[in-house]
């Protein structure tokens, strides 16, 4: 490892410049030119390793990059994505989101943490191992898509059409992060997601607000409907919905019991007075990782600009996401939500599905998790924390669940990386740790 460490040290600047080059591409959904540029750059980086690469393209779909190389007793699938969230609101960024900036050892750019930094750290790890005279200890397959931020809407088709190509013993998932005490977190699964829009309609066009005494206001209809989804303790009120959740296994309970979760540090970091229901300790971490959610992500109605405008809106809409735990599905959620609205007198509220993914998880005691724990200890110098399920969502079931591939996630983010928010960032030290982790992980997984 000493020779590899020297190589990484000698090429740090080169690695960061390559990451910056990828982060300069505004690969946001809908920007077909930028998505194509990002895919081409990813393919170029992978082919430079000596990998056999292929770019899969189809009308209306962001290019998907596949690469394969190496040989060994095990095959590792590595999943990442090159698309990013929109940078809005631009005015809250300290610098241009697509002009990477380094300040006091922190790299700022959209995609730095989610997910271009994680992808490039893994590519640089493979390069460092090979260029240091080493040999890949296993067969490795990279799958890098460009639609993760829009629910990976075409990934299922690709998986269905290429099951043999994607066959692997295990998968290293896209990303994870460090907690407020800089302890690396490994995750063994993801919550599912169902994203919906609720829409209420009134008059054919906006009216003067003087009509409010006789004309129904769709904004009020929507607010009333939304207020029925949660009680004042933030508990979901859809009939029998909570019964759909799969009970925690004994292994999950043991894993959660080992987690030292610092809620006070999180409150301080995010400027919170407290958590829902004043939760703390084991209840807090169990709810965070294992409970389904119902979240209003955005509301839109009438006039919300500067100053006053007396208007009765013709339409009101809200976007919501529901996080799903094992045994819950987007289809079940849509049925339960439609039934709930109808039973509570809101059959006039439109329900539109905007996307979703299934929940998925791996046994916390699987070989791939053990390998990740050993690699994290070596790379980070700290005992990692294992989460049975991460609280966010992604197409883990679409890929690994469908093909029966166990997975684990490690990443270069930190508790203040601000994924999906202005000033997204990673620390340079974490980036180099991510390179070292990938090298150690490949070796550990090939032998464990």
Per-residue tens of pLDDT for the chain, all 448 residues: 789 999 999 999 999 999 999 999 999 999 999 999 999 999 999 999 999 999 999 999 999 999 999 999 999 999 999 999 999 999 999 999 999 999 999 999 999 999 999 999 999 999 999 999 889 999 999 999 999 999 898 999 999 999 999 999 999 999 999 998 899 999 999 999 999 999 999 999 999 999 999 999 999 999 999 999 999 999 999 999 999 999 988 888 998 998 988 899 889 988 999 999 999 999 999 999 999 999 999 999 999 999 999 999 999 999 999 999 999 999 999 999 999 999 999 999 999 999 899 999 999 999 999 999 999 999 999 999 999 999 999 999 999 999 999 999 999 999 999 999 999 999 999 999 999 999 999 999 999 8
Cβ neighbours of residue 30 under 8 Å, at least 6 residues apart?
Answer: none
Residue 241's φ and ψ, nearest 5 degrees, are -65, -45
The answer as to CATH 3.20.20.140 being correct for domain 2-188+362-447 is no
> What is the arrangement of strands in the sheet containing 101-103, beginning at the earlier edge strand?
101-103, 106-108, 425-427
Rounded to an integer, what distance in angstroms lies between the CA atom of residue 274 and that of residue 73? 49
Pick the CATH number of 192-357 from 3.30.70.1290, 3.30.70.360, 3.40.50.10800, 3.30.1360.70: 3.30.70.360
Give just the sign of the alpha carbon dihedral 184, 189, 191, 193.
positive
What is the pTM assigned to this prediction?
0.89
Rounded to an integer, what distance in angstroms lies between the CA atom of residue 34 and that of residue 84? 11
Which residue ranges make up each domain of the chain?
A: 2-188+362-447, 192-357
Q: Is 40 in contact with 64 (CB distance < 8 Å)?
A: no
């Amino acid at each position: 490892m000493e020779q590899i460490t020297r190589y990484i040290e000698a090429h740090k600047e080169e690695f960061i410049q390559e990451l910056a080059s990828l982060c300069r591409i505004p690969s946001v959904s809908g920007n077909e030119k930028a998505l194509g540029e990002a895919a081409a750059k990813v393919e170029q980086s992978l082919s430079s390793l000596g990998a056999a690469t292929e770019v899969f393209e189809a009308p209306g779909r962001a290019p998907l990059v596949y690469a394969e190389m190496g040989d060994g007793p095990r095959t590792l699938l590595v999943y990442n994505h090159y698309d990013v969230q929109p940078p809005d609101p631009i005015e809250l960024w300290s610098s241009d989101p697509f002009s990477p900036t380094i300040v006091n050892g922190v790299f700022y750019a959209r995609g730095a943490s989610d997910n271009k930094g994680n992808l490039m750290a893994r590519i640089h790890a493979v390069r460092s191992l090979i260029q240091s005279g080493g040999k890949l200890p296993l067969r490795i397959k990279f799958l890098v898509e460009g639609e993760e931020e829009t629910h990976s809407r075409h990934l299922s088709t690709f998986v269905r059409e290429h099951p043999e190509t994607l066959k692997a013993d295990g998968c290293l998932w896209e990303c994870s992060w460090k907690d407020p005490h800089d302890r690396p977190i490994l995750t063994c699964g993801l919550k599912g997601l169902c994203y919906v829009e609720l829409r209420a309609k009134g008059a054919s066009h906006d009216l003067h607000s003087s009509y409010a005494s006789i004309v129904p206001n769709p904004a009020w209809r929507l607010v009333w409907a939304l207020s029925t989804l949660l009680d004042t303790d933030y508990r979901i009120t859809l009939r029998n919905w909570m019964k759909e959740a799969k009970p925690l296994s004994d292994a999950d309970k043991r894993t959660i019991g080992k987690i030292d979760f610092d809620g006070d540090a999180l409150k301080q970091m995010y400027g919170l007075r407290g958590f829902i229901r004043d939760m703390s300790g084991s209840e807090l971490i169990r709810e965070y990782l294992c409970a389904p959610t119902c979240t209003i992500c955005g509301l839109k109605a009438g006039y919300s600009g500067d100053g006053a405008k007396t208007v009765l809106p013709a339409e009101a809409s809200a976007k919501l996401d529901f996080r799903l735990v094992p045994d819950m599905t987007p289809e079940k959620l849509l049925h339960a939500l439609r039934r709930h609205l109808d039973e509570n007198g809101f059959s006039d509220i439109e329900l539109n599905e905007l996307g979703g993914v299934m929940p998925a998880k791996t046994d916390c005691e699987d070989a791939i998790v053990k390998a990740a724990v050993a690699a994290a200890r070596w790379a980070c110098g700290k005992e990692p924390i294992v989460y049975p399920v991460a609280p966010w969502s992604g197409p883990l079931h679409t890929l690994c669940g469908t093909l029966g591939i166990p997975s684990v996630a490690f990443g270069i983010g930190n508790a203040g990386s601000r994924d999906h928010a202005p000033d997204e960032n990673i620390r340079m030290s974490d980036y180099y740790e991510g390179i070292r982790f990938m090298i150690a992980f490949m070796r550990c997984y090939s032998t464990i």
